Amino acid sequence: MNKPTRIADATAADPIIVNVGLGERAYDIAIGRGVLDQLGERIAALRPGARTAIVTDRTVAAHWLKRTQTSLDAAGIAHSHIVVGEGEASKTYGVLAEVSEALVTAKIERNDLVIALGGGVIGDLVGLASGLVRRGTGFVQIPTTLLAQVDSSVGGKTAINAPEGKNLVGLFHQPRLVIADINVLATLPAREMKAGYAEVVKYGLIGDAAFFDWLDNDGSKLLAGDTAALARAVAASVRAKAGVVERDETETGERALLNLGHTFGHALEAATGFSARLLHGEGVAIGMKLAFDLSAALGFCDGQVPGRVANHLARMGLPHRLADIPGDRPATAELLHHMAQDKKVEAGKLTFILARAIGDAFIAKDVDAAAVGKVLDAAP
């Protein structure tokens, strides 16, 4: 059993506000300790008279549903709730239909708000359902995992999985508000915190070497539950992502950089059956190391750089080798098959996010599948 991360509860402080500037669809991300308790007043100011429907999973409901409802009650906001199962098994056509039909039954209208209370799975699922119901209802993200706070809750990507791969059925649908409460991470198992950390360090590896250096020195404080370190890391990550989303909302160019490690990682998740064998962040961690291995193999970065990445991930307790995945090693041929379904594939050619150095990532198109296979075969 993973023990929860130890984070002392704190009174609400002045939150850090990061705005995602998308014109009429701009929205705020409120980051801080206790900001969940401000949900009701923020929704009342954002959309007066709106009714809400909270969608969450069983585990999150046990910890945070009542507190969410209390905040809505205090602001006089009507609410209902829908509870689904945990994990990637809920990102399916069947559960999407279940949630969509429940929102229609609850008479959620286009001027109302659907609240996604949970991690990345809930955010992806609820974002897609709200984008479909009545041809688009507004929704609010309340990410309850580190991974969701720094990545999936921001930017409007919503999706469910298909048998052929991860996140293949979806649309872009921006939230109206994101509430990233540092205190809710107190109930997160240590393994989930580490998985979320992979998406934090990703921002340093992509384009901020100084942020990576800070994490290299102080990342252990973050994983130990230091609220100041967590707030700094979440804010830095969100600012980085918000800037990219503003410049390339629908991923026609620069936004693809945010997928560092994801082509490998998604293939690994598919090969392990989207199961508890490999969490998304764990797959990304291994994928980022493989991306640096591929960069070195193709001559784009110094051969010592992948070792620095591997050493950092290992010190943070994250998997970084194929051998770290429990059970049988995924076959290279199977991984290449899944990569061929990656969303970044163009005209059947593989696209990867590679790097010239830590903090200097770039988009590489038409990457030779044989070179990728050699890296996979050689990986420990």
Read off the CATH number of the domain in which 144 is found.
Answer: 3.40.50.1970
Q: Which residue, 157, 187, 217, sits at the end of a domain?
A: 187
Is 349 a catalytic site residue? no
Mean of pLDDT over the chain = 93
Question: Is pLDDT at 1 greater than 60 in this prediction?
Answer: no
Which one from 91, 176, 266, 338 is the annotated catalytic residue? 266
Is 337 a catalytic site residue? no
Check if the beta carbon of residue 315 is closer than 8 Å to that of residue 308: no
Q: What is the pLDDT of residues 268-307, one digit of tens each?
A: 999 999 889 999 999 999 999 999 999 999 999 999 999 9
Task: Give the position of tokens 């696209």.
Answer: 351
Q: What is the pLDDT of residues 243-272, one digit of tens each?
A: 999 999 988 889 999 999 999 999 999 999
Is 24 a catalytic site residue? no
Q: Which residue, 138, 165, 187, sits at the end of a domain?
A: 187
Based on the domain organization, do 312 and 270 belong to the same domain? yes
What pLDDT is recorded for position 13? 59
What percentage of the chain reaches a pLDDT higher than 90? 86
Which among 233, 245, 137 has a CA at the least distance from the CA of 180?
A: 233
Residue 115 lies in a domain: yes
Is 280 a catalytic site residue? yes
Query: At 164, is the pLDDT very low, low, confident or very high (cuts 50, 70, 90)?
Result: confident
CA atoms within 13 A on the CB side of 299: 0
As for how many domains the chain has, the answer is: 2
Residue 8 lies in a domain: no
Q: What is the pLDDT of residues 24-47, one digit of tens each?
A: 999 999 999 999 999 999 999 999
Which one from 262, 289, 320, 343 is the annotated catalytic residue? 262
Read off the CATH number of the domain in which 280 is found.
Answer: 1.20.1090.10
Task: Give the position of tokens 């707030």.
Answer: 231
Residue 6 lies in a domain: no
What percentage of the chain reaches a pLDDT higher than 70? 96
Which one from 42, 166, 255, 289 is the annotated catalytic residue? 255
Based on the domain organization, do 137 and 266 belong to the same domain? no
CA torsion angle 222 227 229 235 (round to 10): 110
Based on the domain organization, do 137 and 88 belong to the same domain? yes
Based on the domain organization, do 200 and 165 belong to the same domain? no
Task: Give the position of tokens 């699922």.
Answer: 125
Which among 36, 32, 85, 18 has a CA at the least distance from the CA of 56?
A: 85
Based on the domain organization, do 174 and 260 belong to the same domain? no
Based on the domain organization, do 181 and 203 belong to the same domain? no
Which one from 251, 282, 312, 338 is the annotated catalytic residue? 251
Residue 5 lies in a domain: no
Residue 10 lies in a domain: no
Based on the domain organization, do 225 and 322 belong to the same domain? yes
State which residues form the domain around 254.
190-378
Is 194 a catalytic site residue? no
Based on the domain organization, do 199 and 288 belong to the same domain? yes
Residue 124 lies in a domain: yes
Is 255 a catalytic site residue? yes
Which one from 202, 259, 269, 289 is the annotated catalytic residue? 259
Is 176 a catalytic site residue? no
Which one from 47, 88, 176, 199 is the annotated catalytic residue? 199
Based on the domain organization, do 225 and 344 belong to the same domain? yes
Question: Is pLDDT at 6 greater than 70 in this prediction?
Answer: no
What is d(CA 177, CA 108) in angstroms, rounded to the nearest whole number?
Answer: 17
Which one from 79, 176, 232, 280 is the annotated catalytic residue? 280
Residue 11 lies in a domain: no
Is 135 a catalytic site residue? yes
Q: What is the pLDDT of residues 169-208, one digit of tens each?
A: 999 999 999 999 999 998 999 999 999 999 999 999 999 9
Is 266 a catalytic site residue? yes
Residue 7 lies in a domain: no
Q: Which residue, 187, 206, 228, sits at the end of a domain?
A: 187
Based on the domain organization, do 208 and 169 belong to the same domain? no
Q: What is the mean pLDDT of residues 74-91?
A: 95
Is 199 a catalytic site residue? yes
Which one from 47, 157, 166, 173 is the annotated catalytic residue? 157
Based on the domain organization, do 163 and 249 belong to the same domain? no
Task: Give the position of tokens 């700094």.
Answer: 232
Based on the domain organization, do 181 and 264 belong to the same domain? no
